[in-house]
Every structure is written in C-alpha cells, then in structure tokens.
C-alpha cells in the first residue's frame, strides 16, 4: 500500500520528489522503532545507505533499551529482606529502572508502603514495615550529609562505567 501511495504521489504531484524523501525517512524511522532500534537523527538514516561495514566496541554502547538488574549486593541483610523493603517503593515509582527492579524480584512477598515520596531525578523514599527507606543514586545519597555518614567508605568507591548504581538506606522510623 505504501509503494502504491508513493508512486501516485510521484506521478500526480509536481512536488512529489520533495515529499518522497521525507516520507521514506519517516517510514524508515517508524519501522526501525518497531524493531526496537532508536534513530535519533534522520540524516543518520540517509547516510546509512552508504555504509558497507559496521564495527561495534565492547564498552556497553549497545543496549536492548530495557534496563535489567545485573547484580544485587546486600550488606548485612538477606536478599529476601532487601526485596521486602525495595519492591513496595519501586512499584510506585515511574522511573524506568524501577520496572527492572520489580521484574528482578517479581516473586517477592511485599508489603504496602506506609508512606511514599518520589524524589524527582534522585530516587524514592518512604516508610515500609516501620522503617524509613531511601532508594537513590549514589550522588543523591552523598548530599544527605551526616545522617548517613557511616556509609562514606562505600560511597567513595568509583562508579562502574555504563552501570547505574543505586543505594538503599534504612533507619527505624522516629517515634512522634
């Protein structure tokens, strides 16, 4: 159907060639998106027709477009207990990495959070099972100051390139 439509445009319209190129680029970007390939620049798609070899390096520049938890390293608690605190908050988060976390622990028994707050661009926090929980990027955790000073040695480790790292902090909810 697209070929017929394009052919009619080229024959019937004096500016058909001006329409054909943008139309084909739009269709090409759409087809690539359906296959899970993100093309950010239409010019790159046009230049691709002149490419006869593609070489990829091993630095993690190719992705599936779906984040996945690679490893969990609980400190001082079991992974089951960690899931009990993390999953209730991540289920309420809209961040793409939250889905990766909930997929990783899809069979975990979880509780409903007593409180939840989305820290835009930083992480999430809330109260689960009477504990105040903060799940955030290492950079945000560093800004929390003396409250979490005991984690300083962990925070000084250099981040792993191309891997998003999050940290879970908890403390008993202060009584009011």
Q: For residue 166, what are the β-bridge partners?
A: 137
Bridge-based pairing of strands 166-172 and 131-137 is antiparallel
Tell me which of 41, 43, 57, 107 is the catalytic residue: 57
The two tokens of residue 17 are: 């060639």
Active site residue 57: yes
Q: Where are the alpha helices (DSSP H) in the chain?
A: 2-12, 16-34, 42-48, 79-92, 96-104, 138-142, 152-155
Residue 48: half-sphere exposure toward Cβ, Cα within 13 Å: 13
What is the distance between the alpha carbons of residues 84 and 78, in angstroms, rounded to a whole number? 10
Query: In a 3-state reduction of DSSP, which class is residue 83?
Result: helix
Strands 115-119 and 131-137: unpaired
Catalytic (active-site) positions: 57
């Amino acid at each position: 159907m697209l070929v017929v439509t394009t052919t009619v445009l080229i024959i019937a319209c004096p500016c058909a060639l001006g329409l054909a190129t943008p139309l084909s680029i739009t269709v090409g970007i759409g087809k690539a998106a359906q296959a899970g390939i993100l093309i950010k620049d239409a010019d790159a798609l046009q230049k691709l027709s002149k490419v006869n070899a593609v070489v990829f390096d091993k630095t993690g520049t190719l992705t599936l477009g779906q984040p996945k938890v690679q490893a969990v390293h609980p400190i001082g608690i079991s992974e089951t207990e960690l899931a009990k605190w993390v999953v209730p908050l991540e289920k309420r988060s809209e961040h793409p990495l939250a889905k990766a976390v909930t997929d990783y622990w899809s069979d975990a028994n979880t509780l409903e959070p007593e409180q939840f707050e989305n820290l835009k661009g930083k992480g999430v926090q809330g109260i689960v099972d009477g504990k105040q929980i903060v799940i955030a990027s290492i950079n945000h955790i560093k800004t929390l100051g003396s409250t979490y000073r005991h984690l300083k040695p962990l925070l000084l480790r250099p981040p792993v390139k191309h891997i998003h790292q999050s940290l879970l902090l908890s403390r008993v909810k202060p009584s009011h």
